[in-house]
Structure 1
Amino acid sequence: MLTDEMKEAIEKNLVFVATASSDGTPNVVPIGFTRPIDNKRILIVDVFMKKTLNNLEENPRVSLIVQNAKEHPYQFKGTAKVFKSGKFFEEAVEWAQNVMSEVEPKSAILVTIEEIYSVKPGPDAGKRIK
């Protein structure tokens, strides 16, 4: 599902993550520690999340968009699973602490991508890509 260009865009840019509580209250946050781990899944490191984490516990649906949407015009939608221990959590901690030794990740969030949409201005805006 994720192309090499999409993976690179996710890994090299700030990513905005949108969630909603069970009553539909939206929340969007910028995340610096986001990277694809294969063609269908994205790993997000939770360092400072509060509302986002609460929302994911109530409603695992999530949407992501890369900061540089002009060059990388994609919206990714999927389902998230939160890990506070185990392989994905350990991978997230190691990655984050290799970049910034002082961070203390609280959890790892694994997003399985189910849909990808174009956010490129023009006639294809909002069109489903995959």
Structure 2
Amino acid sequence: MKNWLEGLGAHIATATKNGFPTVIVTYSCQVTDNVVKFPLTEAQVKQIQDNIAQNPWVAIAPGQLGAVRAPYQFKGQGRLEGQNLVVEVSEIYCTKPGPEAARRMDTMGYEKMKAFEESRWKDLEPPK
């Protein structure tokens, strides 16, 4: 999942405290453990800064072909650090169509999640 985000960027969704969404697209990030750091343009910071101040909950989905090949949604608390959005991911969901849609993946543990993925989806390797 790290390779998908770092290799393809992401769609990042934030929302006001009333739930009005804003989505921005980034083309790079750095993933360390459960923390994802996105460099943003000044315009992107302006688009989401009020949302993050009101509601720090952020949803992330892999960008480009990752939207199809890596159907995951990552959720966590976000904060702006200068021109960077830093998100501490605490939940991972499957967004594949079918019975596994919306299944929470991070509660499964690595081995169970790996076995689940291998049994349900055969695909190309993520970019390196």
Q: TM-score, normalised by structure 2?
A: 0.74
Look up the match of 1:92. Answer: none
**Gapped regions of structure 2 (runs ≥ 5):** 107-128
Look up the match of 1:128. Answer: 104
**Gapped regions of structure 1 (runs ≥ 5):** 1-5, 85-106
Look up the match of 2:10. Answer: 15
Say yes or no: does 1:108 pair with 2:104.
no
How far is 1:27 from its partner?
0.8
What one-letter code is carried by the residue in structure 1 that aligns with 2:51?
Answer: N
Aligned residues: 102
- SS of the aligned residue for 1:82 comes to strand
How far is 1:29 from its partner?
1.2
RMSD of Structure 2 on Structure 1 (CA): 1.2
Identity of aligned residues (%): 30
Name whichever structure is richer in helix by fraction: 2
Say yes or no: does 1:39 pair with 2:33.
yes
Say yes or no: does 1:51 pair with 2:47.
yes
How far is 1:24 from its partner?
1.7
Contact 1:80-1:112 within 8 A present in 2 as well: yes
- SS of the aligned residue for 1:78 comes to strand
Q: TM-score, normalised by structure 1?
A: 0.73
